[in-house]
Amino acid sequence: MKLSFFIDVAMVILISFCLLKKNHNRFENLFMLMAAEFVLLCYYAILYINLDLWTISKGTERFIIFRIYEVFFIPLLFLLYFNLLPLLKKLFSQFGFTVLFIGILLSVELWMVEWKVIIYKNWHAWQSVITSLFLIILLRALLKGYQLLGEKFR
């Protein structure tokens, strides 16, 4: 039941991304997706393998939910965020949208904790907020670097 619901939510995010008017070209979106995948996979691996701050459930359904969350759901949310952010012209509205986005990321993570997909060990939700902010800054810097590199070689 949880797996089918999670897949349905992931499909809604995918459909909304496909219908969204994109503010970046295909290569920038592809780069952002690959960069988000790489950074997020490393982040989650550090948390639950290297530092042992999280435990991932051993149940098959919950493990699949985590893999969809890790590989598909969160990178697509970051892609949506970076395509919607340029639509907001005022700095205050961009700040508000960033706070909303971090809240969504935290809510989804806490959803995983509630379902016992992720089990915190020596980890708190506020640490996820700080890490999400750092990931946004890092991915934004990578996107800007890619855009500057693209302009240089045109």
What are 120-137's pLDDT values in tens digits? 999 999 999 999 999 999
What pLDDT digit, counting tens, does each position of 16-40 carry?
Answer: 888 877 788 888 999 999 999 999 9
Give how far Cα 13 sits from Cα of 55, 62, 79, 123, 137, Å: 26, 20, 10, 28, 22
The strand pairing partners of 54, in sequence order, are 120
Phi–psi pair at 55, nearest 5 degrees: -125, 135
Query: Quick one: average pLDDT of 6-10?
Result: 85
Query: Is this structure's pTM higher than 0.95?
Result: no
Q: What is the pLDDT of residue 23?
A: 81
Helices (H), 20-124: 26-45, 60-68, 74-84, 91-114
Count of beta carbons in the 10 Å neighbourhood of residue 114: 9
Do the beta carbons of residue 31 and residue 95 sit within 8 Å?
Answer: no
What pLDDT digit, counting tens, does each position of 89-120 carry?
Answer: 899 999 999 999 999 999 999 999 999 999 99
Q: Which of 8, 140, 14, 153 is nearest to 77 (CA)?
A: 14
- In angstroms, rounded to a whole number, what is the distance separating the alpha carbons of residues 114 and 133? 22
Q: Which of 88, 73, 6 is nearest to 33 (CA)?
A: 73
